[in-house]
């Protein structure tokens, strides 16, 4: 008969192991950023890995940069874009179903990665663009700013999305974009290279928020 210690060891050995998180490497003309893909958003995780393995992102621009808000890339039309050309409409011919995971503590704090999408009128299910993604930036927020963000959320979601005390504390400490919560899918989080993103968000941009001097993704691949 197995003793208690042996039973405990057997129980541990049979327990399912947590799935290891995939880390993606984004080599840019301004440095390298690494971010992990959340296992809680498997559709977005697998889609991003697929596109990276196809070298889809290689040589694409960060075509939209707004200080203290967002750094966006993934438009295939940006690969050979002329200076000053309007970008942001290119994407594959499919969308990724929304994967909102507020219940898992996944929200738009600074350093997370979300998927861009079309607006609610043409996209009521809030499905994600398959290739365009954003590094979320921001600065610490006040309670007053968070109250205004909650009012915007109430208007956009009919009161369905509420900022918890824990979420508010994170936004007050590091910042982010709470008005996007429950409306855009967050599927990853930066693990290194925030200094690179801080530099990118400060580059001069034109009236369409495109960097005047191109900031390009040289390679995007899965870290071994």
Residue 8: pLDDT band with limits 50, 70, 90: very low
Q: What is the pLDDT of residue 72?
A: 98
**Pairwise CA distance, residues 60 & 214, whole Å:** 10
Core vs surface per residue 36-46: b (16+ CB within 10 A) or e = bbbebbeebbe
Burial of residue 188, with CB atoms counted within 10 A of its CB: 0-12 exposed, 13-18 middle, 19 or more buried: buried
C-alpha 139/C-alpha 188 separation (Å) is 19
Helices (H) and strands (E) in the chain, counts: 5, 10
| 30-89 pLDDT tens trace | 999 999 999 999 999 999 999 999 999 999 999 999 999 999 999 999 999 999 999 999
Q: Is the model's pLDDT at 10 over the cut of 50?
A: no
pLDDT at 179: 97
**187 within 8 A of 45, measured Cβ to Cβ:** yes
Mean pLDDT score of the chain:
93
Distance CA 190, CA 171 (A): 16
- Say if residue 21's pLDDT is above 80: yes
Dig out the tokens for 222 from the structure. Answer: 């899965």
Q: What is the largest CA-CA distance in the chain?
A: 76
Global pTM value: 0.90
Q: Are 85 and 109 in contact (CB under 8 A)?
A: no
User: Which pLDDT band, with edges at 50, 70 and 90, does 9 fall under?
Assistant: very low
Secondary structure of 99-116 as H, E, C letters: CCCHHHCCCCECCEEEEC
167-182 pLDDT, tens digit per residue, is 999 999 999 999 999 9
pLDDT at position 19: 83
């Amino acid at each position: 008969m197995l003793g208690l210690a042996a039973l405990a060891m057997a129980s541990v050995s049979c327990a399912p192991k947590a799935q290891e998180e995939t880390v993606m490497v984004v080599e840019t003309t301004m440095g390298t950023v690494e971010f992990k893909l959340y296992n809680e958003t498997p559709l977005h995780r697998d889609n991003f890995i697929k596109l990276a393995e196809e070298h889809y992102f290689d040589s694409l621009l960060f075509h939209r940069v707004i200080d203290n808000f967002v750094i966006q890339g993934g438009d295939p039309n940006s690969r050979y874009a002329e200076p000053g050309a309007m970008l942001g409409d290119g994407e594959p011919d499919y969308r990724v179903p929304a994967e909102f995971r507020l219940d898992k503590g996944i929200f738009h704090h600074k350093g997370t990665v979300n998927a861009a999408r079309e607006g609610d009128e043409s996209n009521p299910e809030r499905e994600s663009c398959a290739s365009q993604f954003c590094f979320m930036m921001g600065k610490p927020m006040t309670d007053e700013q968070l109250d205004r963000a909650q009012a915007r959320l109430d208007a956009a979601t009919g009161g369905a999305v509420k900022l918890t005390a824990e979420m508010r504390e994170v936004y007050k400490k590091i910042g982010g974009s709470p008005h996007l919560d429950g409306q855009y899918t967050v599927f990853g989080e930066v693990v290194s290279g925030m200094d690179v993103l801080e530099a990118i968000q400060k580059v001069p941009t034109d009236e369409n928020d495109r960097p005047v001097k191109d900031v390009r993704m040289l390679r995007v691949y899965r870290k071994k």
